[in-house]
């Protein structure tokens, strides 16, 4: 296993240009270069389409010229080329903490922008190159088979306040007392639809053929979505007793024929599902949201919190994001299906627990044949996690649910437990606060 260094965390950059060290040169501005080399403006023969300045050195428009017929421009001052889509480097405002050189934008990813220090005299760069010359540079190799010698910084396109606001959204509550069916029917609908993983059409048929209750399959879905608005806050804000080890994994579901992704996190000791949201793609921001849904359940934040995930690099980026926000935790990644490294060998049993959760969920998901919308899929997930945490009996817990509620002691039938769970959810509602 090559110790890839894609997400090696460097120290944060400087937001203001530092006082330069004697041994390291200043980064010349366009005015300094022009004065030192007596550079004259471009003698134009026809109109020049680009109206801005050079994004690299800030040279005035009169020092720019069209480099070829593909709208590529060149600067007569710094000798660099660019297009009209390039992001000006002056907007970064970041400086290398090792040499004070201004950072250049390198990659524009979906969730963050990668900056690097281009200075060849940077002490960071020199130390890494020295390892290369001595042959001790294996840990500097990236997954792209290149070597990481320069200082890097990732500027995320979202902040913690945006993540908090997103996670704390509460759905509009639906008054289920106005439904046409009685409460007993509602309990039967939830039991068949969630506990036994039946499709809405099968639930409609079972209610008609066995119980003599005539409701449509669309009514079954409407009842389920209404109850999910009532239970979501209880599922999210119930004071669970959790260990400081959390496992995460993704699985996919079909929404309108396209793959969407469930980000599951759970406690391997208590079996409580701590994060469960479905997203349309797998990216860094969604990994951050899923991890924050777990982290906000701890008060105070534990110093020994550990996440166990697969080798997806979005979790490395999420760990970096939280470290920049002041939240530090350990991240252990189990890679592949065989134990090629000590980390995978040690933590694979925890990861297999999460894989088992995925398979258990898929047993309920397959009969649905996918969902009609992302909102419908997440509504179902709320009900499934409510069932998994409060109602489902687990063989590893002596056939008890992860959360044992005293209110269920006198209730043996599952429809009655669903109704009591709905009644208890009122004390956790945040939409009314």
Handedness of CA 359, 363, 364, 366 (dihedral sign): positive
The conformation of residue 103, written as its DSSP 8-state character, comes to: P
Model confidence at 342, pLDDT cuts 50, 70, 90, reads confident
**Rounded to 10 degrees, what is the CA torsion of 346, 351, 353, 355?**
-150
Is 193 a residue whose pLDDT tops 90? yes
Q: What average pLDDT does range 109-122 have in this prediction?
A: 88
Phi, psi of 56 (to 5 degrees): -95, -45
Q: Are 308 and 351 in contact (CB under 8 A)?
A: yes
Q: What does the pLDDT read at residue 7?
A: 58
Q: What average pLDDT does range 326-354 have in this prediction?
A: 88
Q: What does the pLDDT read at residue 20?
A: 45
Rg (alpha carbons) of the chain, rounded to whole number: 28
Is 226 a residue whose pLDDT tops 90? yes
The token pair at 141 is 């190799």
Q: What does the pLDDT read at residue 249?
A: 94
| 55 Cα distance to chain centroid | 32
Q: What average pLDDT does range 174-195 have in this prediction?
A: 93
Is 298 a residue whose pLDDT tops 80? yes
DSSP secondary structure string, 220-268? HHHHHHHHHHHHHHHHHHS-----SEEEEEEEEEEETTEEEEEEEEE-T
Is 106 a residue whose pLDDT tops 90? no
Q: What average pLDDT does range 217-221 have in this prediction?
A: 95
| 8 Cα distance to chain centroid | 18
Domain ranges (residues) in the chain: 1-18+95-157, 27-86, 164-170+233-428
Question: CATH topology for 164-170+233-428?
Answer: Nucleotidyltransferase; domain 5 (3.30.420)
DSSP secondary structure string, 286-328? HHHHHHHHHHTT-SSPPTT-EEEE-S-HHHHHHHHHHHHTT--
Element (H, E) at 134: helix 123-134
- Write out pLDDT tens, residues 124-169: 999 888 887 777 766 676 655 677 888 988 889 999 999 999 999 9
- Write out pLDDT tens, residues 361-387: 999 999 988 899 999 999 999 999 999
Rounded Cα gap, residues 316 and 402, in angstroms: 29
More confident residue, 109 or 24: 109
Q: What does the pLDDT read at residue 89?
A: 44
> First and final CA of the chain: distance in angstroms?
52
Of 304, 194, 287, 286, nearest to 242 (Cα)?
A: 304
Q: What does the pLDDT read at residue 60?
A: 87
How large is the angle between the packed helices 183-190 and 200-210, nearest 10 degrees? 130
- Write out pLDDT tens, residues 261-279: 999 999 999 999 999 999 9
187 Cβ contact list (under 8 Å, min separation 6)? 413, 414, 415, 416, 418, 419
The token pair at 338 is 């065989």
Is 217 a residue whose pLDDT tops 70? yes
């Amino acid at each position: 296993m090559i110790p890839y260094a894609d997400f090696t965390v460097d120290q944060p950059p400087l937001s203001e240009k530092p006082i330069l060290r004697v041994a390291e040169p200043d980064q010349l501005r366009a005015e300094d270069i022009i004065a030192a080399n007596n550079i004259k403006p471009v003698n134009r023969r026809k109109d020049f389409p680009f109206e801005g300045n050079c994004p690299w050195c800030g040279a005035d428009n009169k020092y720019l010229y069209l480099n070829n017929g593909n709208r590529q421009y060149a600067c007569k001052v710094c000798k660099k080329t660019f297009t009209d889509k390039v992001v000006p480097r002056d907007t970064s405002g970041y400086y290398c903490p090792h040499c004070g050189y201004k950072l250049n934008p390198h990659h524009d990813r979906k969730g963050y922008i990668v900056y690097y220090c281009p200075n060849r005299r940077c002490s960071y760069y020199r130390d890494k190159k020295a390892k290369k010359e001595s042959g001790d540079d294996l840990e500097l190799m990236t997954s792209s088979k290149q070597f990481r010698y320069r200082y890097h910084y990732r500027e995320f396109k979202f902040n913690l306040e945006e993540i908090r606001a997103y996670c704390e959204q509460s759905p509009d509550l639906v008054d289920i007392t106005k439904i046409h069916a009685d409460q007993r029917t509602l309990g039967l609908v939830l039991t068949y639809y969630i506990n036994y993983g039946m499709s809405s059409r099968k639930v409609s048929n079972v209610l008609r053929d066995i119980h003599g209750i005539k409701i449509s399959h669309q009514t079954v879905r409407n009842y389920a979505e209404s109850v999910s608005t009532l239970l979501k806050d209880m599922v999210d804000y119930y004071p669970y007793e959790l260990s400081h080890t959390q496992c995460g994994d993704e699985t996919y579901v079909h929404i309108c024929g396209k793959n969407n992704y469930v980000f599951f996190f759970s406690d391997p000791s208590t079996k409580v599902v701590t994060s469960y949201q479905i997203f349309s793609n797998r990216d860094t921001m969604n990994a951050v949201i899923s991890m924050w849904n777990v982290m906000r359940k701890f008060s105070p934040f534990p110093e020994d919190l550990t996440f166990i995930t697969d080798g997806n690099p979005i979790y490395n980026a999420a760990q970096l994001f939280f470290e920049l926000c002041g939240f530090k935790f350990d991240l252990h990644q189990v890679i592949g299906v065989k134990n090629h490294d000590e980390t995978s060998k040690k933590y694979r049993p925890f990861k297999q627990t999460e894989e088992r959760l995925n398979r258990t969920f898929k047993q309920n998901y397959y009969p649905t044949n996918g969902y009609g919308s992302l909102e419908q899929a997440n509504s179902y997930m709320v009900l499934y996690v409510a069932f998994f945490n409060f109602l489902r009996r687990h063989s590893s817990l002596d056939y008890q649910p992860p959360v044992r509620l005293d209110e269920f002691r006198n209730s043996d039938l599952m429809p009655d437990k669903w109704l009591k769970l709905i009644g208890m959810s009122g004390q956790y509602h945040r939409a009314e606060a």
